[in-house]
Structure 1
Amino acid sequence: MVEQTNSYALYRQRRSGKSDPHWHPTDLREMKAYIGLNILMGINQLPDADMYWASDIFIGNAGFKKTMTARRFEKLTQNLHLCDRASEPVRGERGYDGLYKIRALLDVVENTMWDSYTPNRCLTIDQGAVAVKGSFSPTQCMPSKPLKKGLKVWMLCDSRSGYCHRARIYVGKASEEAAVAALGYRVVTSLVRGLEGKHHHIFMDSFFTSVPLMQRLLRNGLYACGPTQPSRRGYPEVLRPCNVGKLSPGEFYQCQRGNLVATVTRDTKVVSCLSSNSAPGIVGISPGRQQQHEWEVDSDGGGGVSFGVPHPLPLLLYQENMRGVDLCDQLRECYQVGRPCKKWWRYFLWFYVNLCIVNAYVILRESRGGAPPAGCNGKQFTQRHFRVRLAQQLIGDYQGARGMERAARKRHADSPIEYGHRLDRMSERSRRCRNCTNKGLRHESVFGCKICNVHLCRGGCFSEFHK
């Protein structure tokens, strides 16, 4: 990020034909502080980024002002880059990559996410979404999701903890893609690569589930379960709606071929399911619900009874374990990272940064068994506490940007008022003048400079001290 941001800033200046007097190259410490400020912006959310540097004491943030100026933050945001813009291939050229702008980030982050956490037995594959502001070509419409429009991401998450092992970005339909089923087949096989022969249980939704995919996973030593569309190729003809007829609540039919079991049942609606991790004929009971019949009357004359509806085991397993991506999204959506912008790839950049924060929090929480880290005073250690501590560690004692930007300003100004220094009343009690003390004299004053936090005489000590 440091190298390509500096390179892109020079590229923009060469392209425009004029230099930027407010830009100077960034370094690793400043970039860490910049990311730390973006993390804190997701906790303390304000409508506009400039408000964090507002002079109003009820709005402005003293920590932001101490770390870097608003102009420096704006310049870093303006020039932030992850790839070499000069060597980027255009669409239609050989070697074109739709994710070229973040490819370097993906190569590092995806390997780290995969190696940092050992997958549990049950894993979830589902579709996630990244909220955007603006119109971008990769933006997808998702009517069945809570977020109706956004950037689409497919995720492989742990069903128990919500840890994200892998994520695949969808930037549009390629010309060689033929059908939705083929796309889901490729997505699942790419997400589970590396798990062959380890006998994990994969839970996925109806977009991915198909007979060819389940058979492929079985050959690779992986079990799977998920609802499907009865019109999919390979689904048993006897379980299609036209052959099953109307089902009563709790009634189900199953059909087996090898280790693959197809199920059709009715709860609130008819559901078709494929599974390879449960035997047929095993029935579970869903949570009870209140129902009433004419012939069921208790001793008090009431007609209400509570009982469970029989469910086949594949659907009970699906309902219990199909929550990994939802857990990850809940943790991720609590605190956003980054500000809205006009470049679509930056939404994916901050998505991966936020995803890494969630994964790090899950690892810390599980490694400590729920106990808070040292320095938390025994209080409950939540994700908010983790993000604040992470941002503080990234920022550290960095204050270099403010001094460097001040040094770049014009130094021929006669008055320090240009920099915000003014002679104000400091306190009711007089204290020694700092300028006179430096000269070996003793004079006291109730006035001084609040920015420098020193007392100064009302005469020439103010201007002399600020020279």
Structure 2
Amino acid sequence: MEIKINVFLFHSNSYAKHIIRSTRAVTKRDSRVTLWKPLTIRELKLFLSIVFNMGLIRKSSIEEYWNSTMASQASNWFKRTISRNRFQNILRFLYVSDHSKNFPRDHPGYDPASRFRPLLNFMNRQFGRFLVPEKEICVDETLVASKGHNIMRQYIPSKAGKFGIKFWMLCESATGYILQMTVYRGRNFDPVPSGELQGTQVVTSLLSSANLLNKCYHVFCDRTLRKNRPMPNVIKSADPAPNNAVYMRKGKVLCMAYRDADGKRPVRMLSTYLPAQELRSGKPKIVHVYNKNMGGVDTTDSVMKAYSGQRKNRKTWKKVLLHLYHRILHNAYILYTKNTADTPIKSRVRFIQDVVESLSDTVTINVIPARARPHDQRRNIHVGVKLLSGRKEKDCCVCSRRSQAGGRRRSRTACSFCGKGLHRCCIQFHYNCHEY
């Protein structure tokens, strides 16, 4: 994984050199572009910590996170982590593909998803390594909302954003864990094979890519049986009374038409493993199981929307790229909930906060002057924090309170002088260091 990150760093630095070289004649001397320095792993982690933290701390624009003109709007953590100009430079030149192979639109090898496809492929390879999904999985579409001009842009009226880049996702129904993602580039770039329906092609390709095809999984899909599709006339023309169903079976395939209530249209469903059985409430079992297991993608979307911090971007592919990083973070939280021994389990907000802390504390942080006391001149020394070896953690000597329920706060950094656990943000309150 570290090798792949180094490849992404190489592409970002190569792209920055290419842009600076090609625009050197028109770039102003005092432009922030001229201040570009090669991106390092340390800075990439700090950059991602800021991107994730922006999803928790909402402000009207990126510049506002570094606003120091008004004390009420100050966010000192962002200023201490990376300067505003450096963050915006990284955001501008962030790249994960070889820019020399991104052909123009009129080239026969043009791929509109080439600028983020290496990260997407990397995600798909990694997601399947860490989780064996439960028996119920689902396939559905999601939309990265964007109104920017892009040949891949789709219109889906049922989605909140309506316009954007469409992805097909294979998820575990119970948790929403993403097993595979594939981007839909439009009918010109992703035509449906002759004799197949798009839904069939999408489901089989996702299952094959995830190595789950023909493994006895229960796959739930949406809109597979519309009224204009081939089906028995009994089901096609069925008009059952409210809370009633009509069934037909041929071999393993069960076909059903069901009306939920008066004034609603009948729904038609197919199943290859559920019986023609009704629950005590009168609802068919096939409807109950579908409602229970089909919401994995929608649940993931609703959870991500709360903490994604997505902003407008002139480059649609850059917005998709940042969205993919948030997808990685979401999967990481699901893996944490499945494997942790923590009691109680951290909330999603707390998990993101810990990830932000971890990414921003991955290196020894620049020393910050401690608050001095008038009667002791030795307090003018500079106190800093250092990273603990391995994955060790210590209780923060400032903010951790074991005596209070849920008050324990662990840190992967320690005071560089006394060795006590200490968060970066707690340095200014660390008065009990023996070096004082």
**Shorter-normalised TM range:** 0.7 to 0.9
Which position in structure 1 is the counterpart of 2:11? 4
The amino acid of 1:32's aligned partner reads: K
Which position in structure 2 is the counterpart of 1:192? 207
1:158-169 matches, within 5 Å, as: 158-169=172-183
The yes-or-no answer on 1:384 pairing with 2:349 is yes
Aligned-residue offset at 1:180:
12
Give me the whole-angstrom Cα distance separating, in 1, the residues matched to 2:206 and 2:320: 18
SS at match of 1:165: strand
Work out whether residues 47 and 87 of structure 2, in 8 Å CA contact, stay in contact via their aligned partners in 1.
yes
Q: CA RMSD in A?
A: 2.9
1:98-177 matches, within 5 Å, as: 98-132=112-146, 134-174=148-188, 176-177=191-192
Give me the whole-angstrom Cα distance separating, in 1, the residues matched to 2:142 and 2:327: 12
Which position in structure 1 is the counterpart of 2:76? 62
Work out whether residues 169 and 178 of structure 2, in 8 Å CA contact, stay in contact via their aligned partners in 1.
yes
Where do 5+ consecutive residues of structure 1 fail to align?
A: 210-227, 286-307, 373-378, 404-425, 436-452, 454-467
1:1-400 matches, within 5 Å, as: 1-18=8-25, 20-55=33-68, 56-132=70-146, 134-174=148-188, 176-177=191-192, 182-193=197-208, 194-206=211-223, 209=224, 228-233=225-230, 235-241=231-237, 244=238, 246-268=239-261, 269=264, 270-280=266-276, 282-285=277-280, 308=281, 310-337=282-309, 339-368=311-340, 371-372=342-343, 381-396=346-361, 398=363
Aligned-residue offset at 1:248:
0.8
SS at match of 2:182: strand
Work out whether residues 103 and 110 of structure 2, in 8 Å CA contact, stay in contact via their aligned partners in 1.
yes
Aligned-residue offset at 1:115:
1.6
Identity %: 26
Taking structure 1 as the reference length, what is the TM-score of the superposition?
0.71
SS at match of 1:254: strand
Give me the whole-angstrom Cα distance separating, in 1, the residues matched to 2:315 and 2:105: 17
Distance change >3 Å, CA 368–CA 111, structure 1 → 2: same
Work out whether residues 257 and 269 of structure 2, in 8 Å CA contact, stay in contact via their aligned partners in 1.
yes
Work out whether residues 67 and 399 of structure 1, in 8 Å CA contact, stay in contact via their aligned partners in 2.
no
- Which of structures 1 and 2 has the bigger CA Rg? 1
Give me the whole-angstrom Cα distance separating, in 2, the residues matched to 1:230 and 1:402: 68
Distance change >3 Å, CA 332–CA 179, structure 1 → 2: farther
The amino acid of 1:351's aligned partner reads: H
Distance change >3 Å, CA 142–CA 64, structure 1 → 2: same
Aligned pair count reads 359
Aligned-residue offset at 1:397:
5.4
| Deviation per residue, 1:214-240 (Å, 9 max, x gap) | xxxxxxxxxxxxxx213213x112211
| Deviation per residue, 1:177-232 (Å, 9 max, x gap) | 489972222111111111133211111111xx2xxxxxxxxxxxxxxxxxx21321
Work out whether residues 130 and 152 of structure 1, in 8 Å CA contact, stay in contact via their aligned partners in 2.
yes
Distance change >3 Å, CA 178–CA 121, structure 1 → 2: closer
Work out whether residues 30 and 398 of structure 1, in 8 Å CA contact, stay in contact via their aligned partners in 2.
no
SS at match of 2:128: helix
